[in-house]
Amino acid sequence: MTLTMPKRIVWAFALGLVVFYTPYAGLSKAVTSGLVPGVPKGLLGLEILPAAILGTVFMIPLIITLLGWWKYARFRRFAGIPLPVTTPAIALSGLGLALIIGSTTVAFTFKGISIVLALIMMRGGLLIMAPVIDVAYKRRVRWFSWAALVISFAALAVSFAAANDYSLPLLAALNLAVYLTGYLLRTPCMTKLAKVHDPEVTRTYFVQEVLVTIILLPAIPAMMALFGNSPTSLALRRGFTTFWTLHSAAVLPVVLIGIFYASHNIFGTLIYLDGRENTFCVPLFCGASFLAGFSAVFVLSKLFAFPAPPASQLVSAGMVLSALLLLSPFHHRIEDAWGFVTGDRLRGATLVTVRERLILFVCSGNTCRSPMAAAISNAEVATRLGMSPAARVRAESGGLSPRTGAPMTSESHDALRDLAIVPSRHEARPLTAELIDAADVIYCMTESQRVLLVQQYPEASVKAQTLDPGGDIPDPIGHGYDVYAEVARRIQSLVRMRFDEMGIVAGEARG
């Protein structure tokens, strides 16, 4: 378990997104345009949606199994049936993802709407949301994120201005509204609960979210098909019934569409869940998906009699690449160059600061175990990182039922001094929603404390874990100094283990 993923792994996620999004977008357009051998023209996106959903619902549990991430799921049996259990916020995010998956596939299938135009409509709304949500949640937005956002908008404008037809069918407009609604539900939940630097938190969020999604994803269109009589409901009804026999040649490629979606979704979600601001993550996600869309059009033009991408889209692709370049560590070169030009080299080297990460330790009374763990962690940060600009890691503590203002016990002071740690002045304090929200990861001393914490603060469920994955750390209160010293040494060993897993070492990369 780690606290800080290598910052550049997000670029591997972007590459994975491109690899799987390209065949997903291309196949969605090819199947409904009659480009697949044996599949007639005229298939509607809503007709193929149930089979695509089948591929996604099959692939998501397989991905979780291959990654070994079932340990992040929580189930409860209802009438003997195991159903996923999570917080209301993650369930709402799962609903949003279900809306996103269904509407994205349909968006690529409308006649007269190109892959790139579909992406423009969908990604434009996302780019608007990103800084708005960052401002709402008071997340710092760095200059290169703003710059990439502006360039991404400009790339959209270039492709949109060159389009020949700006008309948007009513169904396409409604589908776009469903897509954006999905992100309006999902993005604030992700931002509040899971945009941290701890992969354990992001994986827990991903697994719990998609388990809700694979229930709702087929259920929503099935209900529409069963009880509606509109053209939309009738098309979905055909998708659940006659499509499988009348268009058997299309079944496999359509199921593959769903499989490709599930495969690229994990990379897209991990980009969104990166601890940096939405104004960084969303342009990166949009840029990667745009490159995938351009690639899909290029492949279709080479393999089939499909219109080649116009020059405007090539220009847009170049602009997207420049935005991605700004989001990459290349922006440090720009800062250093600016510092050299202005003569302020130190400023050029340190314009971008690293967001401070907060580790929160929790026990019952906040006078022994959790304050010792916070003091040990802060000492470990100082030892490992010193005064490095990357040393923006801080540990704090709180209690589930403290006597507010009570000092740390004298035995705890003595145990820390024997570890060559000089504790700062401490007063016990209760946990608050603000403290929970600010924490990147929360370590409880016992499993029962973790359970109680989640009961009091459901939003902590994706962050909270026990400091010792192998068992509880006993409460030394009421015991002699030897017990305190043993507990302190155990906590120090566990903190060092966690820090090794965190990847917090001297010389962390900037920004």
Distance separating alpha carbons of residues 301 and 115, to the nearest angstrom: 12
Whether 398 contacts 370, CB under 8 Å: yes
Between 351 and 243, where is the model more confident? 243
* Residue 220: per-residue pLDDT: 94
**Length of the chain, in residues:** 511
pLDDT at 6: 46
Q: What is the pLDDT of residue 68?
A: 93
Where do we find the tokens 């601890």? 275
Residue 396 in 3-state DSSP? strand
What's the mean pLDDT when you consider all of the chain?
83
Round to whole Å and give the CA distance between 370 and 409.
Answer: 12
Lowest mean pLDDT among 155-164, 297-306, 310-319: 155-164
Which residues, other chains included, contact 490 with Cβ-Cβ below 8 Å and sequence gap of 6+?
Answer: 468, 473
Are 348 and 335 a contacting pair, CB within 8 Å?
yes
- CA 315 remoteness from chain centre: 29
Q: What is the pLDDT of residue 388?
A: 46
Residue 162 pLDDT > 70: no
| Model confidence pLDDT, tens digit, residues 113-157 | 777 777 777 877 888 888 888 888 777 787 788 888 888 878 777
Lowest mean pLDDT among 35-39, 78-82, 161-165: 161-165
Q: 118 vs 19, 124, 159, 264, 386, CA distance in Å? A: 19, 10, 11, 17, 50
- Give the helix ranges, DSSP H, for 68-197: 88-107, 115-136, 143-161, 170-193
Rounded mean pLDDT of 329-350?
A: 54
What is the model's pLDDT at position 386?
Answer: 63
- Per DSSP, the three-state class of 357 is strand
In the predicted model, is pLDDT for residue 3 greater than 50? no
Percentage of the chain lying above the pLDDT 70 cut: 87
- Is the overall model pTM greater than 0.75, yes or no? no
Question: What pLDDT was estimated at residue 129?
Answer: 85
Can you say how many angstroms the Cα of residue 288 is from the centroid of all Cα atoms in its chain?
15
CATH of domain 357-502: 3.40.50.2300
What pLDDT shows up at residue 163?
60
pLDDT, tens digit (0-9, with 9 covering 90-100), for 379-389 = 888 887 764 44
The answer to whether residues 291 and 18 touch, using CB atoms and an 8 Å cutoff, is yes
In percent, the amount of the chain with pLDDT more than 90 equals 36
Q: Are 313 and 159 in contact (CB under 8 A)?
A: yes
Q: What is the pLDDT of residues 245-254, one digit of tens each?
A: 988 888 999 9
Count CA within 13 A, CB hemisphere, residue 260: 21
Confidence check: pLDDT of 396 > 90: yes
**CA–CA distance, 377 with 399 (Å, rounded to integer):** 17
Query: What DSSP assignment string belongs to 225-273?
Result: HHH--SHHHHHHHHHHTTHHHHTHHHHHHHHHHHHHHHHHHHHHHHHHT
CA angle 179, 185, 189 (to 5 degrees): 135
Q: Where in the chain is the domain with CATH 3.40.50.2300?
A: 357-502
Residues 6+ apart with CB under 8 A from 222: 50, 236, 240
For residue range 434-462, what is the model confidence (pLDDT) as tens digits? 888 888 889 999 999 998 998 888 778 87
CA-CA distance, 344 to 340, in Å (whole number)? 6
Q: In what order do the strands lie in the sheet with 393-399?
A: 393-399, 357-363, 441-444, 464-466
Q: What is the dihedral of CA 497, 503, 507, 508, to 10 degrees?
A: -150
The DSSP output letter for 303 is: H
Report d(CA 382, CA 361) in Å as an integer: 18
Lowest mean pLDDT among 30-34, 110-114, 258-262: 110-114
Supply the Cα-derived Rg of the chain in whole angstroms: 26
